[in-house]
Every structure is written in structure tokens, then in C-alpha cells.
A and B are shown apart, each in its own frame.
Chain A
């Protein structure tokens, strides 16, 4: 195994996530695409950790932190989406134009 194969797959997942964030209108689907991007970052972290043979396992530790922060982000994000849906009867992000001028 070479380290670059993991990095290329992670880059592929990251760009698919970017496409999803840019093209989806539903806020829940945007959050799903953000999860894809975070997964790509986790693969990068663990691959570099294995590549560097780190005694302190910093790659795995940071992957765990990313997972925890992602779980927090999903909880808050879905709560905000539900709140917006309750107020505007729609979860489409291009209809939220209150800050536009």
C-alpha cells in the first residue's frame, strides 16, 4: 500500500461533497454532503498518522475529535433546519434570503 492511494480517494470524496454542498437546495442534503467532506478529512488524518508512525497517535486522536465535533454540528444544524422549517414552511436554502440586499 502507498499513502497516496488513500489521499486520492479522500480527495475524490471531498470533491463529491463540495459538489453536493453547491448543488443541493434542501438544507438536510447540504448537511449530508458536509458529512462526506468530514469523512474525507478523517481518512486523510488517519492515513497520515499511519504514514508517520506517530507514537502519540495524533492522527487517530484528531479523527476522533473531528467525529465528535461533526456529531455536535449535525445536532445543532438539524435543530436550526427544523426551526427554519417551522417558521418558513420550507427547508430550501435558496429561499432564505433575509440577509440578502
Chain B
């Protein structure tokens, strides 16, 4: 498919803007010398992913990302940064390793490998985003996938108890 054909679809322009914002924010997450900025820029990347889910018709997943990630996980991260007193100054030497180039090489190699494979496999396969309703997802989640759903809720309960046990002060000390 030619690029001019691709860009003539208005949805693809929206996609391009969203994914550009996402990728720039993600790059700043891994390079920012300020820890709090990194956590707040992750909000931009996650909001972009929620917008992509909306474009794909996955409405409930999008709002779950907004609620769980942007609402809860980022706040947890900010508390973690506060408690561990991570350096919030501008000295990037403390936050990153000296040898960045091998890591960048591995990252680029991963990207080239994955995108080469998917381009070979799916070249121009069209995707049609129907409007997915949350009630359909709820019905299937509580009929076909009810046992995995309960297992996941048990995992969350175990993580909750484990987090409390790990993070509280030992009363013997």
C-alpha cells in the first residue's frame, strides 16, 4: 500500500498523531533524568494506548487502562519514588548505566526483528474496528472465562496481602 493512500484515511492521521505522542513520551520515560517526570510521562504513553484501544473498538479495555493505570498504578509509582527518595535532580549519571550503546543496539535489533516479521506476515491486511460494547465483554467474561477471571482475582488478593506483609515494619524490631 502506498503511503499517500494510507494517509488519506482520516483515522490513520489520528493514529499517526497518537502514536507519535506515545513514542516520544515513551522515549522520555526511559531517558528523562528526572524520576517524577518519567512517571508522569508514562501517563501520556498509557493514555495514548487507551486511545488506540478506543480506535480498535475495545472500549472497556481503554477505560480500564485509564482507571487502573493512570488512576492507581502511577500514584503507586509516585509513592514508591517518594519513599525510596530516588534522586529527582538533574544528574543523569546516577540514574543510567554508563554503557548505553549495547542496550540501544539490543532495543533497535528487537524492533527491527519484530517489525520485519509482522510486516512479512501481515503486509497490508486490513483491520476493521467495530464498535465493541462493554456488555458483550462482560457477558463473555462471566460465561466463557469465568474461571480464569476468578483466578486473576485470587492473584490480586494474594498480591494485596503479599504487598502489605512485605512493606510493613517488622514488629519485633
A: residues with CB less than 8 A from B are 1-9, 11-20, 22-29, 31-33, 35-36, 39, 42-43, 46-47, 49-51, 53, 56-57, 59-61, 63-65, 67-76, 78-83, 85, 91-92, 94
CA distance A12 to B152 in the complex (A): 28
**Which parts of B42-65 form the interface with A (CB within 8 Å)?**
42, 45-46, 49, 52-53, 55-58, 60-61, 64-65
Within 120-166 of B, Cβ neighbours of A (below 8 Å) are at 122-130, 132, 136-137, 140-141, 144-145, 148, 152-153, 155-156, 158-160, 162-164, 166
Q: Are A42 and B49 in contact (CB under 8 A)?
A: yes
Rounded to whole angstroms, the CA-CA distance of A89 and B47 in the bound complex is 34
Q: Give the complex CA separation of A79 and B106 in angstroms.
A: 30
Residue from B38, B84, B162 in contact with A81 in the complex, judged by beta carbons closer than 8 Å: B84
Cβ–Cβ contact B119 & A4, under 8 A: yes
A8: chain B residues at CB < 8 Å are 115, 118-119
Would you call A74 and B73 a contact (CB within 8 A)? yes
Residues of A within 8 A of B148 (CB): 61, 65
Q: Is the CB of A3 within 8 A of B125?
A: yes
Known A-B contacts A12-B23, A28-B86, A47-B127; A76 and B159 likewise in contact (beta carbons under 8 Å): yes
Separation in Å of the B86 CB from the closest CB of chain A? 5
Contact A69 B152 (CB under 8 A): yes
Q: Are A2 and B145 in contact (CB under 8 A)?
A: no
Interface of A is mostly: helix
With contacts defined as CB atoms under 8 Å apart, how many contacts are there between chain A and chain B in the complex?
Answer: 261
CB proximity of A13 to chain B, nearest CB, Å: 6
Q: Chain B CB within 10 Å — which of A7, A39, A73 has the most?
A: A39
B141 and A61 contact, CB distance less than 8 A: yes
Tell me which residues from 79 to 127 in chain B have a Cβ below 8 Å from any Cβ of chain A: 79-81, 83-87, 94-97, 100, 102-104, 106-108, 110-111, 114-115, 118-119, 122-127
Bound Cα distance from A59 to B13, whole angstroms = 25
* Given A39-B49, A50-B128, A29 and B22 contact (CB-CB distance below 8 Å): no
B108 touches A4 (CB 8 A): no
Q: Are A1 and B97 in contact (CB under 8 A)?
A: no
A24 with B163, Cβ < 8 A, contacts A2-B124, A2-B127, A3-B125 known:
no
Known: A28-B86, A63-B61. A50 touches B30 (CB 8 A): no
Contact partners of B79 in chain A: CB under 8 A: 78
Residue of chain A at shortest CB distance from B139: A57
